[in-house]
Structure 1
Amino acid sequence: MAIDPRNPDPAYAAFWRERHVCTLTTPRPDGSPHVVPVGVTYDPATGTARVITGKDSRKVANVQAAGPDGARVAVCQMEGKRWATLEGRAVVRTEADVVADAVERYAVRYGRTPRPNPDRVVIEITVTRAMGRG
């Protein structure tokens, strides 16, 4: 079912605040999907989802290979019959303040602060589509 990504119903938004392992799907340069487990934070007010990761990861390389306009990606989570997917355009952000903000959001959602990592970057997704079942 389609959901307004900037104004989801309260149950959908709450599901994205619960602690769940998610998946990120990025396109490889050959077009095939690369799917990996990640932690995701979602801010409906700005329509932004964020994944923190190392700068040398395959997911970062896939997003960068798509060019300056970013890569079309999806993040998904599920629990039992509940599921939620966010789709959009991803870019890699390296600015220290952006990374620090993403780490703080991760700490709030997942209940732990990740270990320091000087090579950490953010895959920032401008969400254009949201769907799911609560």
Structure 2
Amino acid sequence: MAPTRTPALRLSAEAEAFLAENHLCTFTTLRPDGSPHTAPVRFTWDGDAGLARVMTTATRRKARNLLANPGGRVSVCQMAGWQWLTLEGTATVSTDPFRVAEGVRRYTRRYRSAPPQPPGLAVVEIRVDRVLGG
């Protein structure tokens, strides 16, 4: 099942260009007790679909947090010096081969190398509905 498009979300050309660059990123989920869990990640941005994607495994804390709270809110933040952009939205974890392959394809294109592929590879799809930047 292919993700649906979020037509209302449009980023500026400057924001799109910044998200295409390779900078430090963090991903924040909420643990079952409500406390935040933040981890460094690499992610991809699909502006046409309004999706950010993070590759992981279903056993990692970030995925377990989302599996415990399906559709929970998350944020991914990219920063370079004083410039930053945070993408917020609802997230799902998928091991569907099509979705994982799409995540791997986009990751490989952005970072010019394939992501690690441990057993249980999964993709977190973030349906972005809020963008903050500075």
- TM-score normalized with structure 1 length: 0.90
- C-alpha separation between the residues in 2 aligned to 1:72 and 1:106? 22
Letter in 2 for 1:96: P
Does the 8 Å contact 1:25/1:73 carry over to 2? yes
The answer to whether 1:34 aligns with 2:37 is yes
**Any gaps of 5 or more consecutive residues in structure 2?**
1-6
Provide the aligned C-alpha RMSD in A.
1.5
Three-state SS of the structure 1 residue aligned to 2:132 is: strand
Residue 52 of structure 2: aligned partner: 49
Residue 103 of structure 1: aligned partner: 104
Runs of 4+ in structure 1 deviating by more than 6 angstroms, as ranges, are: none
Three-state SS of the structure 2 residue aligned to 1:35 is: strand
Does the 8 Å contact 2:28/2:38 carry over to 1? yes
Aligned residue among 13, 17, 40 for 2:16: 13
Letter in 2 for 1:58: R
- C-alpha separation between the residues in 2 aligned to 1:111 and 1:56? 26
Instruction: State the percentage of identical aligned residues.
Output: 46
Three-state SS of the structure 1 residue aligned to 2:109 is: helix
Give the superposition deviation at 1:5: 7.3
Show CA shifts across 1:55-101 (max 9, x none): 2101000001113xx11000001001110000000011111111011
Letter in 1 for 2:19: W
Does the 8 Å contact 2:95/2:120 carry over to 1? no
Q: 1 or 2 for the larger relative contact order (CA 8 Å, sep ≥6)?
A: 1
- TM-score normalized with structure 2 length: 0.90
